[in-house]
Amino acid sequence: MKHSSSSSTTATSMEAAATSSTCSSSAPIPSHSDQSSLGTSSSTAMTTTTTSTIDDITVGTTLDGTNGAAAETVTIDRRGEYSATCKWTVQGFPRVKARALWSKYFEVGGYDCRLLIYPKGDSQALPGYISIYLQIMDPRGTSSSKWDCFASYRLSIVNPLDDSKTIHRDSWHRFSSKKKSHGWCDFTPASTVFDSKLGYLFNNDCVLITADILILNESVSFMRDNSSSSTSNNEVQSGLSLSISSNSVAVGPVSDVLSGKCTWKVHNFSLFKEMIKTQKIMSPVFPAGECNLRISVYQSSVNGMDYLSMCLESKDTEKTAVSDRSCWCLFRMSVLNQKAGGSNHVHRDSYGRFAADNKSGDNTSLGWNDYMKMADFIGAESGFLVDDTAVFSTSFHVIKEFSSFSKNGGLIGGRVGSGARKSDGHMGKFTWRIENFMRLKDLLKKRKITGLCIKSRRFQIGNRDCRLIVYPRGQSQPPCHLSVFLEVTDLRNTSSDWSCFVSHRLSVVNQRMEEKSVTKESQNRYSKAAKDWGWREFVTLTSLFDQDSGFLVQDTVVFSAEVLILKETSIMQDFTDQDTESTNGTSQTDKVGKRSSFTWKVENFLSFKEIMETRKIFSKFFQAGGCELRIGVYESFDTICIYLESDQSVGSDPDKNFWVRYRMAVVNQKNPAKTVWKESSICTKTWNNSVLQFMKVSDMLETDAGFLVRDTVVFVCEILDCCPWFEFSDLEVLASEDDQDALTTDPDELIDSEDSEGNSGDEEDIFRNLLSRAGFHLTYGDNPSQPQVTLREKLLMDAGAIAGFLTGLRVYLDEPAKVKKLLLPTKLSGGNDGKKAVKADESSPSLMNLLMGVKVLQQAIIDLLLDIMVECCQPSEGSLNDDSSDAHSKPSLDGSGASSPLESDRGSGATESAQFPVHERLDSGLDDSKRASAVQSSDINGTDMPGQALPGQPIYPPVTTAGGALENASLRSKTMWPEQSEELLGLIVNSLRALDGAVPQGCPEPRRRPQSAQKIALVLDKAPKHLQPDLVSLIPKLVEHAEHPLAAYALLERLKKPDAEPALWIPVFGALSQLECGSDVWERVLIQSFDLLADSNDEPLAATIDFIFKAASQCQHLPEAVCIYISEYLILLSGMIY
C-alpha cells in the first residue's frame, strides 16, 4: 500500500477541474510592456449584462506614422464599472507594415487597458501566425511597482458574415507591474484572416478585434503571526497586519513568515459566477516560508452536484524564481459567514509540501473540489454571499526546517567493502532539523488533527528521489508513538514496474548524546505500489518530548536517513524453440509454462556484503508461466545462499498456485564453463521457497575466481518448467451454473439426494481437467470401465510437489459434503465414444479411488481417510494426531543441497526488513529497537514480529509431509460431522476395500503418520456394528507396519468384550493373520487365543482353532499348542459327558 501525500481531506487543484490555465511566454513586446504571457483557450462563451454606455474613443488615428497605412476605431461597450467590451476596428490590416499595433487605452474597473496585435506574429509565434495580447496598466503611471488586478477576458477576431466562424479565446490572469500583458502568440493563422473569401476582412480590408473584460473587485488583508518565532522567554511579538486595496498589493516576498492569515474579499462575485464554471479566480499572493501562496476559487461538478471548490496554490510564475523553493504547510481554508453575529463559518484543514514548481514532484496546489455545495454558498439566507460579496480566508503554519545532504562515505554501519567504489552516487546521508516542534504538536492537538504527516525536501541517491516522512502524533489512536518512514520514488520513470532495492537506517538523533539516538535499519524493495517503508512505532512520544531525553532541544528535533541503493540491472529472456525440450507427446499442461531465464546483475555487491551476513537482498519480481517470482541472496556461515520465492504480498492473486522447477546459477564472468548451477523446485502457494547453498563467500570474492568482476556479481534463474497447481476448491469455481447443483456443499441437500447415483460425468470431467493441470492424468486404458490416474514423470520424483498436493487435499476436505463428493462412485464416461452413463454402478470408482490409484499417493490418502473416520467418531474431541509439531522442526534437503529459508526470518512483504538470516541472527550488534519490522506507512494492520531463534542453531521452515501441518486445523471438530458420520464411514470403507494393499515401490513415499493403531481402535469402538467387520478386515491396510503388534492386541481385546458379536471373530482372525509381528508378540497372542476357546462354538470355534495353530506356527510352538488344544478339548468333552 502506498502512503498518502496529504490529508484525506485534500483534493486536486483547479488544473484538474477547469479547462483554462495560463503559462508564461517570453515573447518580446513593445518597450511599454515588461512581459507577455500565453493563455489557453476556452470553449465556453462569456455571458454579458445590459449595455450601460458606449464610448467612441478614436477615429482615423494613424498607427504606423507613415502613409496612413492603417487607422483604428475603438468602441467601448460598458456593463458596469468592472465589465466592458472593447471593439477595435483596424483598417487596411493586410497592408500594415508595423511589427506591432496597439489600441488606445480605455478604462475598466479603474485600470487602463488596451489591445496589442502582431499581424505577422511576435518572436515566439510560429511562422504565419497572428499574436494578440491584452495589456493592463496601473492608472497612476509606471512609477508604481506594487499593484495587481485579476481579470478574466476573451479576445476575438470577428467574422461579420458568419458569427459562428468568429475566432475567440478565453483566459484569466493576474496582471501586475511585472506581468502587464497576457494573450496568445499563436492566436490564429494569418492566412485565415487575410483570405478575403473567408469573411474576416470587410470595408476596405478592415479587421474587427474585440475584447470582453471582467475585472475582479477585491480587497485583501494579511496578518503575520509571530508566535511561532517567539523568544526563549516565550514573549510573543505583536502581529503585523497588511491591508491590500483593489488597486494595490503591499505583500511581496517576506522572509521567515511561518504563520499568518490571509483574508480575501470579492465584492463582485456574481460577475464571475459563470466564469468560474470553466475558469477560476485567484487572490493576490502572500508569503509562507519560502513560497508565495494564493487562494483559488472555482466551481466543480462532483457526482452530478455543483460544488464551490477552493485550493491553495504555490506555483510561481516568475521565471527568475529559485526553482527548488518549497515549504511544508498546515493550513485551514474558510468561507466566512457575514450575517450579523453569524458564527457558522465553513472551515476545512489540510496539509502538504508546496513547491514553486512541480519539477520536484511536490504539490503546487492542494484543496477541495467539493469544498461546499454551491447552493449552500449562494443561498440568499445562508449569509456567505452578502451584497455580492464573498469572504475567503486562509490561515497557515509553515514548519521552520533546515536540511543537509552528503553523498557517499561509509554508510549503514560502515558497509562499504574494501573493493567497493564510493563515487557511484548510490549512497548518502540526509539530515533534517525541524524547529518549533512543540508548537506543531500543540496545533495538531488543538485542532484534533490525526494521521498528519510531514514530508521533507527530496534528496537524490542513485537517480532516485528520496525523502523522510514523519508523523508527529503517530498513526495510532490515542497517539503514543512517533512514526518515521523513508519514501523512494522515480519521477523520471513513467512505467509502472520500476523498482529498486534499498537499505536504509533511520534515526531520531539524540542531540546531547548521539550514541543514545534511536536508530532502526531495514532493507526493502521500493516500487510504485510500495514507495515508503518505515516504522509506525519508532519512538514513544513520552520519551521524545521528555526535556531530559535529549531528543527535543530548544524545541528542535533532528532526523537522519542513511540510504544505500542497490545498483542493479535485470534481463528476462525466453528460450528459442531449438533450446526448448519438446516431444510430440507433450501434453497441454507441459506447454503452459514457457522456458525462460532471468538474469540479475548486482553492480555494487561489496557495498551489501555485510548486510547479507544478517539480512538478505532480493531482485524485483519477474513473470514466468503466469506467476511472479524473485531471486533472494544472503550469506550463512560464509556460504552464499540463493533461493527463489513467489509473490506473497497482499495484492497478489491468492488463487494462483504454480509448481515451478528451476535451476539457479552464480555466473563465472571470466570463464562461463565454471559457472555453478543447482536445481530445485517450489510450489508458489503451498511450499513457497527453498534455499540452494552455493560456494564459500571468501572463494567467490577471490580476484581470479571470476565470480566478482568490478564489484559485479551475476545471478541467473532458469525456469525449466512451470504449470498451474491443483486446487480442490476449483471443483466449485470451475463448474458451470448447470453443474452447481451437482457440486453443492449443502449437507442437507446431499442427504436428501439419491447418493447412489454418484457424481455426474460433468463433475468427473472437471476433476479430470484439474488433475491434468497438476500433472495427474485420468485415463481409461484398455478397460473403459476402469479409469486410472497416472502421474506425470516430472512430478513423480518431486517429494515436495507430492507433499504440497496432499496438503492441499487435506485443506480442501474440511467439511462432510466435500469428503462425500470425492467418495461417491462416478458416472463413467465411455472410453472412446464420450457417452456418459445414466447411473453410476456400485463398482464404479470414486474420485478418491482414482487418486489412490497413484501408488505414491496411496498411503498418504489412507492416513487422510483414517483421520476423517476419527473425526466422524469423535467430533467433539478433535483429531488424535498430535505429532504435527514435529513437522516444524525438521530440515528439508533435496539432492542438490537445497533447504528452505526461514520464512519468518526472511519473508516478503511488510515484515521483510526486520528479519535475520538462517543461522544465528540475534548477535547482530543491534538492540531490539533496531530490529523492529519495517512496514509501509499505509499498512494499518501491521505485522507480527518473527519468532526468535536459539543462538547458533540452523533454522528451517515446516516440512510439508503427507499429512501436512494443516491437518489438525483442517480436520478439527466440525458441527456437521456427526450428522453424516455413519454415511461417510460407509463410503470410506467402500473406498478402502477396493485397495489391493500393495506397498508402492520406486518413488518417494511420504512418511506414514503414527498412532494409526490407536486411531483404528477408537473407530472400532464408535463405529456402527454393521461396519465393524469391514473395518476389521481393513486394519492391515490402515495400520502402520511398526504398530502391527499394537493392532493385534487391540483386536484380541475387541473379541474379549462382552458385546463382541460372533460375526466379528472370523474377520478379526483374518486380520490378525495378515499382521506382521515378532515371535514374542505371537506368543502373547497365542496365550490370549486359548482363553477364547471356552466361549467359542460352531463356526467361531473352528475359526479360533484354525487361528491358534497359525499363531503357534508363527512362534514355533505348534507342538505345545496341539497338546494344550487336546487338553482343552478333553476337558470340554468331560464337561459335556457329565
Same domain, yes or no, for 376 and 481? no
Cell of 931: 530490529
- Torsion of the alpha carbons at 959, 964, 966 and 970, rounded to the nearest 10: 170
* 129 in the same domain as 66: yes
Three-state SS for 767? helix
Q: What is residue 986's three-state secondary structure?
A: helix
Last residue of some domain: 516, 541, 565? 565
| Residue entry with cell 503414527 | 1010
Q: How far apart are CA 935 and CA 568, in angstroms?
A: 23
Q: Is 1002 exposed, middle or buried (0-12, 13-18, 19+ CB in 10 A)?
A: exposed
Q: Which of 781, 799, 974 is nearest to 894 (CA)?
A: 799
Higher pLDDT, 537 or 799: 537
In a domain, 268, yes or no: yes
Instruction: Among 543, 565, 587, give the residue marking a domain's end.
Output: 565
Query: Does a structural domain hold residue 942?
Result: no
- Let me know if residue 652 belongs to a domain: yes
CA separation for the pair 541, 437 (Å, rounded): 12
Q: Is 803 inside any structural domain?
A: no
Residues 6+ apart with CB under 8 A from 1027: 982, 985, 986, 989
**What count of other Cβ atoms lies within 10 Å of the Cβ of residue 492?**
10
Write down the mean pLDDT value for the chain. Answer: 71
**Cβ neighbours around 13 below 10 Å, total:** 26
Best CA proximity match to 211, nearest among 164, 171, 154, 131: 154
Q: Which three cell numbers stand for residue 1112?
A: 503357534
The 10s digit of each residue's pLDDT in 2-16 is 443 333 333 333 333
Contact in structure between 27 and 131 (CB atoms under 8 Å): yes
Other C-beta atoms closer than 10 Å to the C-beta of 586 total 11
Q: Predicted confidence band at 1065 (pLDDT cuts at 50, 70, 90)?
A: low
Torsion of CA 798, 802, 803, 805, to 10 degrees: 140
Q: Is the pLDDT of residue 1134 over 70?
A: no
Determine, yes or no, domain membership for 839. Answer: no
Secondary structure (3-state) at 886: helix
Question: Does residue 1061 carry a pLDDT above 70?
Answer: no
CATH number at residue 192: 2.60.210.10
Would you say 992 and 1034 are in contact if contact means Cβ atoms under 8 Å apart? yes
Same domain for 35 and 152, yes or no, is: yes
428 and 490 in one domain? yes
Q: What percent of the chain stands above pLDDT 90?
A: 34
Task: Identify the domain containing residue 1040 by its residue range.
Answer: 1019-1138
Q: Are residues 630 and 587 in the same domain?
A: yes
Decide if 800 contacts 892 (C-beta within 8 A).
Answer: yes
State the DSSP H helix or E strand holding residue 1016, giving kind and residue range, or none if neither. Answer: helix 1012-1022
Q: What is the pLDDT of residue 1126?
A: 56
Indicate the residue among 679, 695, 724 that finishes a domain.
Answer: 724
What is the Cα–Cα distance from 474 to 468, expressed in whole angstroms? Answer: 14
Residue 5 lies in a domain: no
Sheet of 400-407, strand order: 400-407, 427-435, 557-565, 499-508, 518-527
Is 551 within a domain? yes
pLDDT tens digits, 646-685: 887 766 666 677 888 899 999 999 999 999 999 988 888 7
Same domain, 192 and 297: no
- Considering the domain architecture, whether residues 603 and 678 belong to the same structural domain is answered as yes
Asked whether residue 103 falls in the same domain as residue 196, the answer is yes
Which amino acid is present at 89? T
- Asked if residue 560 and residue 581 are part of one domain, the reply reads no
pLDDT exceeds 80 at position 842: no
Contacts of 548 (CB under 8 A, 6+ apart): none
Same domain for 553 and 632, yes or no, is: no
302 plus 264 within the same structural domain: yes
**Residues 6 or more apart from 1084 whose CB is under 8 A from it?**
1049
Domain assignment present for 625: yes
* CA–CA dist 978, 756 (Å, integer): 21
Per-residue pLDDT band at 254 (split at 50, 70, 90): very low
At residue 490 the predicted structure's pLDDT band, cuts being 50, 70 and 90, is confident
873: part of which helix (H) or strand (E)?
Answer: helix 855-873
- Convert the pLDDT of each residue in 322-364 to its tens digit: 567 889 999 999 999 988 776 789 999 999 999 887 777 778 8
737 vs 1094 pLDDT, higher one: 1094
Give the model confidence (pLDDT) of 95-105 as tens digits: 888 889 989 99
Q: pLDDT for 110-163, tens place per residue?
A: 999 999 999 999 988 889 999 999 999 987 765 556 788 999 999 999 999 999
CA 957/CA 891 separation, integer angstroms: 7
Question: How far is residue 313's CA from residue 307's CA, in Å, rounded to a whole number?
Answer: 19
Amino acid at 1075: L
CA dihedral 510, 513, 515, 520 (to 10 degrees): -10
Cα dihedral 544, 1, 466, 930, rounded to 10, equals 40
**Most confident among 724-738, 867-881, 1000-1014, 1044-1058 (mean pLDDT):** 1044-1058
What value does the mean pLDDT take over residues 778-788?
A: 52
1091 in the same domain as 1049: yes
Q: How many domains in the chain?
A: 5
How many C-beta neighbours within 10 Å does residue 663 have?
Answer: 18
